[in-house]
Chains A and B, each alone.
Chain A
Amino acid sequence: MHQAREWNGDWDWETGSRVIADTKPWNESYSEIHEFVTSRDGEKIAAVVKTEDDTHVPCVNGQPWSNTFEKAWSLRFCPDGRLFCFAMNDDEWTAVVDDEPWEETFDFVWNPQISLDGRTLAVNVRSPEGYGIALNGRSWEQRFVEARSCVLSPDGLRTAANVQMESLAEGDILGFAKGVWSLAVDGRPWDARFLNVWGCTFSDDGESVAAEVRPNLIEQTIAVDGKPWEQRFKAVWEPVFRPGTRDVIAPALTGEGWKLLVNGKPLWDRSFTQVWHQTFSPDRRIVAAVACPEFGRWTVVVDGNLWPCTFSHVVMPPVFSPDSRRIGAIFRDEGSWGLVVDRDPWPDRFDMIWDPVFSPDGDTVAVKAEKRGKYYLAVNGKVYPRAYDAMWDPQFSPDGSKILVRAIADGTFHRIVLPVSEVVG
């Protein structure tokens, strides 16, 4: 959803293909190579490798980090190009960014959340004192019996997790029914307790938090900053804030079926067999969601209007173009995957397809797709004939005229810049 911003302006946009790394020699140097990851600008490829002395180390463009670890996992590039992983030595875990481990270590670390600009990084941690979150190497002062999520505010400054406030004896169903779960923001829990807290989200200014809560065994609702909506439902799904406001929108199972609600009241008149993954356009004006208008058929609903095409298996969360004009969503229908953009499904079907990427002006849409084990770039419905063994999401140049393809062919990682005109023909 947040793609092709100005920050990629200083990337190398010269048309042509460049070999970044030949990964074949890695096989000779290392007994084991884990999954490859690549930086967004296509300048780096990395993987955790196992060295001769049985240690694990991230290796970037063929160069291993200086630090080695007994274990390393969850390797990924941040949007700003820094390389992150979790690593363990002497039973102490921590996060490592660009070969620099955080000072603080933990019994365990997991669930990395990286802000959109890549500058902040939050993870779930467990230490002898309990469970919490660490943000950019500094952990919450408070620890909890358990913390089961790690949510970062859009500005990357605040963190939240659903937390257990009291421990329960095994089988204590009566204690559980009283509610021992809450939501902690920056380590400070809400006063309110619930049976469950799930799916928390920040407002875009980071000041307000909403989450799904279960006040008793048979009711669910949304709580905003610890205060539940008056209305109760059989079930709800993850809320989102309307950007720039404190309005919270969430799907709920009402007597008439699933509905999208805003602050507890219906957003649209219609109800669905299912509705979820509500998403706002970047300009904050449009809300799109995945809907099931009748049992076993799926489509996209935009501001209450269903798209006419429906699909049999699944429709994935809708993706807006940066200019908010266009919407794309991938779907699985009658056994194969496809993409629908603005109500029109592309004619080609694939074995797998990734979320669409729009050019900044919205005119061009590109996807990574897989057919018979090979990966292809497809743009505006046209499949570029070159096949790759591995590939990452395409990226557009700031003016939308070029596409950056990151791909592996014959063991070599290529950084390819293609003019859109060449792909579209």
Chain B
Amino acid sequence: MYDLISRYLVWIAFAVFVFGMAYQFINLVIQAKRDKVIFPYMTWKHSFRSLLHWIVPFASKNMRIRYETTIVTFFFHLCVVLVPIFLTAHVVMFSFAWGPSWSSLSASVTEWITILVLLALVFFLLRRLMLPEVRFVTYPSDYVLLAVAAAPFVTGFIARHQWFDYETMVLIHMIAGAIMLMAIPFTRLSHMLFFPFTRAYMGSEFGAVRNARDW
């Protein structure tokens, strides 16, 4: 079972993720051409200018107004990408299967980062529950997405501490990771792909067309 999942599910998850993202990207380009008024207005300069102001913490006004969300969001997104890539166990597995290897984070660092990610998710959950303007636009699917994002970290954390049956937990962890990976292209988690493009378009429309700032 373990073999089956580690050998095939990971493959499938990666394939779905990669092809799913490619599909979404190609579709985005086709649809943007259909929209006619997207590409003629886009410029590299204003795209990057906008991206920069919305990637660097506190570089935009709303990030300063909602500073707590900015801090949490920034660390959350950083960690959520870093942990899966630089976790020792993942690096070892990858290198065992395919050869290449890269430096990894120490176990204690990873552990703390995982805790931070989970705390960030708790923060997002509390925001959803407590802020009326967020709760008003929350659907059950938003909680599911939080759960999907949380699952690999919770299960990974449990597995590392070997709190339940280790092998089962690792299996669940791998399934959770696969689900998240596969969900990215086909759910609102696809903002991972779309973020640079929506920003670039708005940045261009504000900057190149309307001669104004969008941050």
Contact = CB atoms under 8 A, between A and B. Distances in A.
Chains A and B touch each other in the complex, with CB atoms below 8 Å apart: yes
B36 interface: yes
A296 B39 CA distance: 11
Interface residues of A, number: 3
What is the interface of chain A mostly: helix, strand, loop, or mixed?
loop
Nearest to B37: A295
A387 to B, nearest CB: 36
A273 interface: yes
Instruction: Give the contact-size bracket for chain B.
Output: under 10
A157 to B, nearest CB: 45
A17 B46 CA distance: 57
Interface in B30-57: 36-37, 40
Nearest to A273: B36
Contacts of A296: 40
Contacts of A295: 36-37, 40
A273 B37 CA distance: 11
A271 to B, nearest CB: 13
Contacts of B36: 273, 295
Interface string A276-297: 0000000000000000000110
Nearest to A295: B36
A57 B74 CA distance: 76
Interface in A286-323: 295-296
Nearest to A296: B40
A273 B33 CA distance: 13
A79 to B, nearest CB: 43
Contacts of A273: 36
Interface string A255-286: 00000000000000000010000000000000
Contacts of B37: 295
A305 B36 CA distance: 22
A39 to B, nearest CB: 46
A222 to B, nearest CB: 26
A296 B37 CA distance: 9
B139 to A, nearest CB: 33
Interface in A7-44: none
A295 B40 CA distance: 8
A334 to B, nearest CB: 15
B114 to A, nearest CB: 49
A296 B36 CA distance: 10
A315 B202 CA distance: 30
Nearest to A257: B36
A298 to B, nearest CB: 13
A357 B53 CA distance: 55
Interface string B6-43: 00000000000000000000000000000011001000
B37 to A, nearest CB: 7
Nearest to B35: A295
Interface string B168-198: 0000000000000000000000000000000
Interface of A: 273, 295-296
Interface of B: 36-37, 40
5 contacts: A273-B36, A295-B36, A295-B37, A295-B40, A296-B40
Closest 3 CB pairs of A and B: A295-B36, A296-B40, A295-B40
